[in-house]
Amino acid sequence: MPPKKSTKSLPATADTTPQQNNQPDTAPKLMSVVLAALREEEESGSTNNSSSDSSDNDEEITNTADESNPEAGEEDNESDPPQEVPIAVLQKRAKASKNAATPKSFAKKTTEQGSDAGNPPTAPVPPARKINYNLLFFSAEDLACCNPKAGYLILGDDIPWEDFYAHMKIKACDQLFPNQPVVHNNSFDMNFAIARHVPIPLSLASAADYAHLTNASKIKKNPTIKVSLTSHTPNLEPGKENIATAVAPAQDNGRPELKGPAEKKKKSRAPRETNILPANFAINSKIRTLWEQWECNVTSCKSDFCFVPAEGLHFPLGHGHFEKWAAAILRGDNLASMEKLPNILLFDPVSSHTAGSKSPLLQARLNVITKEKAPPPPPAAPVVNVILPNDMFNPYQHP
């Protein structure tokens, strides 16, 4: 019985050993084929993810090859058929091809994203902020006042300069030129200031000035800008059509119209002798004589020169009195003298103390003036006359 067992076992070993020796020859070939296919796929895809997947597949294939190798495996695996090795490799290859397809699609996605990544996405545009403009209107009359006209306007910081200027011009036309049909661009000036950022008023006359305004307003969270609009006479160029004459703004507030600066007047000074006419030398000398005679020395009197009649109060004399009095004396014909006043209207208050008051013509004129100035007499009380009959009380008498 034992020798039979030995004879049967020898052919089995002879059959198995060649198969075991042929397995390491077929496994490297299959591995090389799979690796070549994977390399072609890697070259076509050329992505990091595909390379990582192929490396995983290589590790799986090497593991299968190690399992098929009898020297590295256990002796219990001798019962496994030798055909299972290539079948397992083909299954792994199919899985690898499926897995390799995913990196291709992923590579397409990454390349598409990469095309977008070449141009980095721009940051989202922030919404336009609203700027509050406090408006002050200064006309030629308001410049002299402490409280000018005021208003407000809210606009976005993304509007262009032309639209901003159009809004300001509409406000200026409503406040500064309400009755003017045509308002030119040079009819008013604009200045702006921002509290604690642009304290000094700056000019606002061009797109560059407006750009500086918007940049300065970005410093504050809720910007409020003070804009001053001042009117002035426009510089109209000659030779152009449709040029309306400048119309002064209407005075709706009841204030008097202010005039421009008054012309400088020359200071008064005593005339030179060469500038005095020859006919005035005699009058000037006569006036000096009257000053010396009728100078008032009473301390309680308010006037420096007074005519003091024999009976009556002091009559103050001025430059007009002395000029008329001196001219009447120089005229002669006994119209006036150093003691006699001329018979004119300036000396009527003291005419009762002079000889001129006895003139009948002057008296008649004075009477007419007093009658005109006198108030009308009050109307007389009504008078009612009642007539009674003689026998009215006879029935009431005793018989």
Residue 206 pLDDT exceeds 60: yes
Burial label, 233 (beta-carbon count in 10 A; 0-12, 13-18, 19+): exposed
Residue 44 pLDDT exceeds 80: no
Residue 75 pLDDT exceeds 80: no
Banded pLDDT at 102 (limits 50, 70, 90): very low
CB neighbour list of residue 373: distance below 8 Å, 6 or more residues apart: none
Residue 349 pLDDT exceeds 50: yes
pLDDT tens for 111-139 read 444 444 455 566 677 777 778 777 777 77
Residue 232 pLDDT exceeds 70: yes
What are the boundaries of each domain within the chain? 15-73+83-110, 130-231, 276-368
Instruction: Tell me the percentage of the chain whose pLDDT exceeds 70.
Output: 58
pTM given for the model: 0.29
Encode the chain in three state secondary structure. Answer: CHHHHHHHHHHHHHHHHHHHHHHHHHHHHHHHHHHHHHHHHHHHHCCHHHHHHHHHHHHHHHHHHHHHCCCCCCHHHHHCCCCHHHHHHHHHHHHHHHHHHHHHHHHHHHHHHHHHHHCCCCCCCCCCCEEEEEEEEECCCHHHCCCCEEEEEEEECCCCHHHHHHHHHHHHHHHCCCCCCCCCHHHEEEEEEECCCEEEEEECCCHHHHHHHHHHHCCCCCCEEEEEEEECCCCCCCCCCCCCCCCCCCCCCCCCCCCCCCCCCCCCCCCCHHHCCHHHHHHHHHHHHHHHHCECCCCCCCCCEEECCCCCCCEECCHHHHHHHHHHHHHCCCCCCCCCCCCCHHHHHHHHHCHHHHCHHHHHHHHHHHHHHCCCCCCCCCCCCCCCCCCCCHHHCCC
**What value does the CA radius of gyration of the chain take, rounded to a whole number of Å?**
63
Banded pLDDT at 28 (limits 50, 70, 90): low
Q: pLDDT value at position 110?
A: 45
Residue 214 pLDDT exceeds 60: yes
Q: pLDDT value at position 5?
A: 45
Distance CA 199, CA 395 (A): 110
Lowest mean pLDDT among 42-46, 89-93, 212-216: 89-93
Residue 37 pLDDT exceeds 50: yes
Q: pLDDT value at position 96?
A: 44
Distance CA 242, CA 239 (A): 10
Q: pLDDT value at position 106?
A: 46
- 157 or 70: which leads in pLDDT: 157
- Mean pLDDT over all residues of the chain? 69
Residue 294 pLDDT exceeds 50: yes
Question: What value does the mean pLDDT take over residues 57-72?
Answer: 47
Question: What value does the mean pLDDT take over residues 77-86?
Answer: 46
Most confident range, picked from 70-74, 168-172, 240-244, 361-365 = 168-172
Largest Cα separation within the chain, whole Å, is 211
Most confident range, picked from 62-76, 172-186, 231-245 = 172-186
Do 224 and 132 form a contact (C-beta atoms < 8 A)?
yes
Residue 10 pLDDT exceeds 70: no
Class at the top of the CATH hierarchy for domain 130-231: alpha beta
